[in-house]
Structure 1
Amino acid sequence: MTEGNFVDYVKIHLASGNGGKGSVHLHREKYITKGGPDGGDGGRGGHIILKGNRNLWTLFSFKFKRHFKAGHGAHGSKNRSTGADGEDVYLEVPLGTLIRDTETQEVICEVTEDGQELILLEGGLGGRGNWHFKNSVNQTPRYAQPGIPGQERQVTLELKVLADVGLVGFPNAGKSTLLSVLTSAKPKIADYEFTTLKPNLGIVKNRDFQTFVMADIPGIIEGAAEGKGLGHYFLRHIERNATLLFLIPADSADIAKEYHILLDELRRYNPEMLDKDRFVVISKSDMLDDELKAEMKAELDQTLEGAPYMFISSVAQQGLQALKDKLWQMLNA
């Protein structure tokens, strides 16, 4: 999937259908010139219904069409015939989609299960026909109820990527390179910061046909929790990952400091993120010799405060199988 096709934030306008009018009709047929009221009820207006689809990974279908209107209910007719219900509109969204009211920013609902259906806007009820209103005093009512109008609402759809493992790190840490090596994904890779502007997903294949989904999240910078560097747009994708893989390059000035900065940004954005399983990976370790690696291990044992870590190299293909085994073990603990 190209970067331009990954849509994770969109505003749409919704309108449910109006209910049909009740019928004002008096029964007439041969030899019956003054029959009683027999006007039928109006049909219900169409609903706007949200439906989860596990085969979708993006909100791309809403990129070019942002107005959705359900059908109106048909009017009632003679012989107590009820009008047809308005046609419902189904909006299929990927799992992990959050729906907010655009004006109030109130969370309406979220879709997390395949096939899950949620009525966003209910159609208006149809009006009752005049036969409902007859009584001993008024035997031929010549009035009926109008249908109830439908509703209109502006909503915002936010996609939070559902993945087993989320790659977390500063820009240009090698996250896209690792994803391209472990999976068949082809993310954009370049030697400058913020090469990745949209999350990339890939399926990691491990031993014995074991698979799990990995997400390459755009780089986080210090201050991301306050929105710096589009932080809110990036951080929300980490909320749904089961395991967080912190990627820090071996040539970093201070590996432990970078790890704690990343951890602090997650804590300030959503403290519940710290409850997720975490694993630290030191990338680009092919530039380290055994002596330097031993020195770094001694230091990291103290400064990472017990967080598990591993040295790998995506380019030199070092430690990748051990990394996949470790992630599979963490996901199935």
Structure 2
Amino acid sequence: MSHDEQLRALFSDIAGQAHDPARLAPEIVARARTHRQRRGLLMAAGAAGTTAVLGGTGVAGWLWSSRTTPVAEGPGIRVPLRYGLGWVPAGFAEESRSATVPGSGVEEQGRNWRGDGQIYLQLEPAQMNLRRHLRTTTIAGRLAWDFPGEPSHQIYLEIDDETWLMVGARVPGNKADVARKLAESVTAESSAVCEVSLTFGWLPERFAGVRTIGLGRIAKSTNETLIVQHKDGPARIVVQMGPIPEPSPGGTRATVRGHDALVREGSVPLVDVDLGGDRRLRLSGLSPQDVTLEELIHVANEVRIGRPPDTSWLQR
């Protein structure tokens, strides 16, 4: 799998549209949902708000965090994550995080660990139509839904009437036992954040929809992602920055941001800027009907790059 294919796989659901609830149940049978990130709230400081300890049934209780409070964007975007895992199997390390920007929709956050398999944690809107496909259970006295599918076992923990937390285990051996142990270890976070150095300085007015950020490691390289959707549809602009390999041949050489760049129209408009060293800034749209090359170049010139995000938590 190429670097671009890995990057698309890592953040495919960040860039994707919201799932249709009618299609959701068969879709999760077919594959593990690792990073469904679309909408939510941004925090530029610690995860404020009260927490409460839930009573357990012979299992350690959870700390359930309150919803984050949105604040304005600054240089870069920093989103405190509401939940984490107190336990993962030996050999697993966190590989990626994703979250959404304030004021742009429903809160969603995701985290992913890899080792001998994959573990993921996803805060998302509860899918009412999906519940009838799942087995009801309890975790530490809290309502939950169990989905013993392949290739992963998933447990959905109720946060409130509108939100649940999905824990998934795609591991060898007894996936159900691992998934339940992961669910029992869920705690409210106090320090983990999803952070990128990128912000938009200019956008076409129609791109006023959901904004999503992602930070992950592929082949020992750290990649940042910033995505904005059209206010009325699936069109989006995707910004990536990191040690991204040069794009496939084709296009025109240009100067963007004062750097050498490759720009091209075609079926997928693309602006690829060589920032020097091992960093590239790459912007793309879904089609030239969604965003023109001229607009994409304008966006690229106005993207603000702040201080590098903290990557100390990433798998080495």
Structure ranking higher in helix proportion: 1
- Fold shared, TM-score > 0.5 on shorter chain: no
What is the TM-score when the length of structure 2 is the normalising length?
A: 0.24
Q: Which of 1 and 2 has higher RCO (CA within 8 Å, sep 6+)?
A: 2
**Greater CA radius of gyration, 1 or 2?**
1
- With the length of structure 1 as denominator, give the TM-score of the two structures: 0.23
